Amino acid sequence: MTILSVDDSTTIRRIVKRSCEELGHTVYEAADGAAALATLAEKANEVGLVILDWNMPGMTGLEVLKAIKSDPKTKHIVVMMLTSEADMNFVKEAIAAGAQNYLTKPFDQKMLALKIQESATMQTA
Amino acid sequence: MSAEVALIGFPRLQEQIATRLLEEHDVHVERVNHDEAAARLSLFNLALFFWPDGGEAAVQRLQKMRDEQPNCPIVIVTSHIGQYTAQKEVGQHAEDILLTPLQPHDVSQKLAKYTGAVKQREPVAVDADYVNPFVSATVDTLKQMASMSCERTGLRLSSEATSRGFYSGTIGLSGNAEGFVSVTFSKELATQIVCKMLSMTEAEVTEDDIRDGVGEFMNVVAGAAKAELVNTKHAFSLSIPQVFSGGPHTVAQPRGIPVFIIEFSADGEHFDVLVCLRQKHS
């Protein structure tokens, strides 16, 4: 599967990339929402999973999620939020907006790998 | 004594996730097949029953468990879609629902409610209830993201927010309460932590890597503390982290508000977390 990792932190993008690649997936990276949507505009048929931060400069992760789910070309893509926003109200808001999975920071490598595997097997409605 | 929790009918991946979350607490987890569940439930303090899509078979299994073992609390684990069918069982054959994707906070809550088995937070004797979440968040973040342990070695009040380390990550807080939180590391400890977060050697990490890692560390600590303080008078929102390097510096703080300096030790190196939070007047 091809995965798009969206996070303004290079630390998190590297951790995600390594986990995804260890699981045999290919990874694109984007440092903000605009770059993520530009990547998806080109590769909507290739990307099967977006791993998305919430708090980023420019568009928030929630805004990016809503843009993905409102575009017929990208709404089929599974989205997993990976964020330090651990408040349940944020989880509910993301799920209501179409996110299929949610992992809060801090996380350990094993849990990240499990969540990526879980997300990779999910089908969008 | 550990609480015994049964995972009934879980797919492999969901079982691994649930087990990992449960085992953060004083809990022994065992996978139980549908066929043996009704007979064995009396051995457990709590049963988590995986509800894939509802259906008659799931209802019958649940009913059989409840009929044969009325005293073991049963919590249905289901998706946001499955909850609509599962809801009918709550009060009849099950006590509660836990939604997937499973979240640590939800799992802790159900464990506490039905077994009392939740890990104890580090006790901190200070007269500022908003400081404790930052202590536990720092310990958890270092453990999970860098596989390092640390302990709080001191706590003091200061009128000035001076960071003593070489690298400092700071996040502004706004909302019911406003202020900032900051972490400050020596060059050596910051390098060590970021190396562990990235699984890289000291020779491989760059200055940019360390700065970004320190900022992200602060971001994660602040996010975890924020979740603990939600719905309190200290609730706040986070800004984007900023990182400073090069030596001691002072963070501008709200006038007249003291700063709690929480001192930690990790692998023999000291670091501080500075918390400055003022409740806004409405």
Instruction: Name the DSSP class of B237.
Output: E
Question: Using the beta-carbon criterion (under 8 Å), do B240 and A15 form an inter-chain contact?
Answer: no
Bridge partners (DSSP) of residue B197 are none
Q: Are residues B58 and B154 in the same domain?
A: no
State residue B108's pLDDT score: 86
Q: Are residues B91 and B150 in the same domain?
A: no
B34, B9 contact by CB (below 8 A): yes
State residue B23's pLDDT score: 86
Domain assignment of residue B213, yes or no = yes
B276, B180 contact by CB (below 8 A): yes
Q: How many domains does chain B have?
A: 2
Q: Which two tokens stand for residue B152?
A: 């709080």
Distance CA A122, CA A57 (A): 29
Nearest of B174, B162, B186, B181 to residue B245 by alpha carbon = B186
Segment A11-16 mean pLDDT: 96
**B106/A contact by beta carbon, under 8 A:** yes
Question: Using the beta-carbon criterion (under 8 Å), do A84 and B194 form an inter-chain contact?
Answer: no
What is the domain-level CATH number for residue B184?
3.40.1550.10
Is pLDDT larger for residue B1 or for residue B123?
Answer: B1
Domain assignment of residue B127, yes or no = no
**pLDDT tier for residue B216 given thresholds of 50, 70 and 90:** very high
Bridge partners (DSSP) of residue B36 are none
CATH number belonging to domain A7-120: 3.40.50.2300
State residue A75's pLDDT score: 95
| Highest-scoring range by mean pLDDT, B1-15, B83-97, B107-121 | B1-15
| B8: Cα separation from own chain's centroid | 25
Q: Are residues B145 and B220 in the same domain?
A: yes
Q: Are residues B160 and B104 in the same domain?
A: no
Segment B158-167 mean pLDDT: 80
Nearest CB neighbour to A9, from listed B147, B216, B227: B216
Question: For B217-276, how does the pLDDT look when each residue is reduced to its tens digit (9 = 90+)?
Answer: 999 999 999 988 888 888 888 888 899 988 777 776 666 678 899 999 998 899 999 998
Q: Which strand (E) or helix (H) includes residue B84?
A: helix B83-86
Domain assignment of residue B119, yes or no = no
B115, B3 contact by CB (below 8 A): yes
Nearest CB neighbour to A106, from listed B13, B145, B198: B145
Nearest of A122, A80, A120, A72 to residue A103 by alpha carbon = A80
Using a CB-CB cut-off of 8 Å, the residues of chain A touching B212 are: 9-11
Domain that holds residue B148: 132-279
Q: Are residues B142 and B272 in the same domain?
A: yes
Domain boundary among B87, B114, B141: B114
SS (H, E, C) chain A: CEEEEECCCHHHHHHHHHHHHHCCCEEEEECCHHHHHHHHHHHCCCEEEEEECCCCCCCCHHHHHHHHHHCCCCCCCEEEEEECCCCHHHHHHHHHCCCCEEEECCCCHHHHHHHHHHHHCCCCC
Question: Using the beta-carbon criterion (under 8 Å), do A106 and B213 form an inter-chain contact?
Answer: no
Residue B141 has pLDDT above 90, yes or no: yes
Distance CA A101, CA A115 (A): 8
Segment B108-131 mean pLDDT: 69
Distance CA A109, CA A16 (A): 9
Collect all residues with Cβ–Cβ distance below 8 Å to B204 and sequence separation of at least 6. Answer: B195
Interaxial angle between packed helices A61-70 and A88-96, expressed in degrees from 0 to 180 and rounded to the nearest 10: 20
Residue A15 has pLDDT above 50, yes or no: yes
Identify the contact set of chain A against chain B, taking CB-CB distances under 8 A: 8-12, 14-15, 18, 55-57, 83-89, 91, 95, 100-108, 110-111, 114-115, 117-118, 121
Token pair 């972490």: residue: B183
Domain assignment of residue B123, yes or no = no
Distance CA B164, CA B181 (A): 14
Distance CA B161, CA B260 (A): 9
Domain assignment of residue B124, yes or no = no
Residue B44 has pLDDT above 50, yes or no: yes
**Bridge pairing between strands A26-30 and A2-6:** parallel
Token pair 């330090």: residue: A84
Is pLDDT larger for residue B13 or for residue A66?
Answer: A66
Domain assignment of residue B257, yes or no = yes
Distance CA B237, CA A107 (A): 21
ipTM: 0.88
Q: Are residues B139 and B104 in the same domain?
A: no
- Helices (H) and strands (E) counted in chain B, each on its own, are 8, 14
Instruction: Name the DSSP class of B94.
Output: B
State residue B53's pLDDT score: 67
Distance CA B181, CA B221 (A): 9
Collect all residues with Cβ–Cβ distance below 8 Å to B83 and sequence separation of at least 6. Answer: B97, B99
Domain assignment of residue B120, yes or no = no
Segment B198-226 mean pLDDT: 95
Nearest CB neighbour to B13, from listed A57, A91, A114: A114
Domain assignment of residue B122, yes or no = no
**pLDDT tier for residue B122 given thresholds of 50, 70 and 90:** very low
State residue B124's pLDDT score: 42
State residue A64's pLDDT score: 98
Q: Are residues B247 and B163 in the same domain?
A: yes
Say whether B101 sits in a helix, a strand or coil: coil
State residue B24's pLDDT score: 82
How many Cβ atoms are within 10 Å of B279's Cβ, its own excluded? 17
Q: Are residues B193 and B264 in the same domain?
A: yes
Domain boundary among B83, B114, B145: B114
**pLDDT tier for residue A7 given thresholds of 50, 70 and 90:** very high
Residues present in chain A in total: 125
Is pLDDT larger for residue B99 or for residue B128?
Answer: B99
Q: Are residues B204 and B72 in the same domain?
A: no
Q: Are residues B188 and B259 in the same domain?
A: yes
Q: Are residues B97 and B148 in the same domain?
A: no
Q: Are residues B149 and B46 in the same domain?
A: no
Say whether B143 sits in a helix, a strand or coil: helix
State residue B255's pLDDT score: 66
What is the domain-level CATH number for residue B27?
3.40.50.2300
The mean pLDDT value of chain B amounts to 86
B57, B44 contact by CB (below 8 A): no
Question: Using the beta-carbon criterion (under 8 Å), do B105 and A88 form an inter-chain contact?
Answer: yes
Cα-based torsion angle of the residue sequence B230, B233, B237, B241 in order, rounded to the nearest 10 degrees: -100
State residue B247's pLDDT score: 72
Is pLDDT larger for residue B74 or for residue B159?
Answer: B74
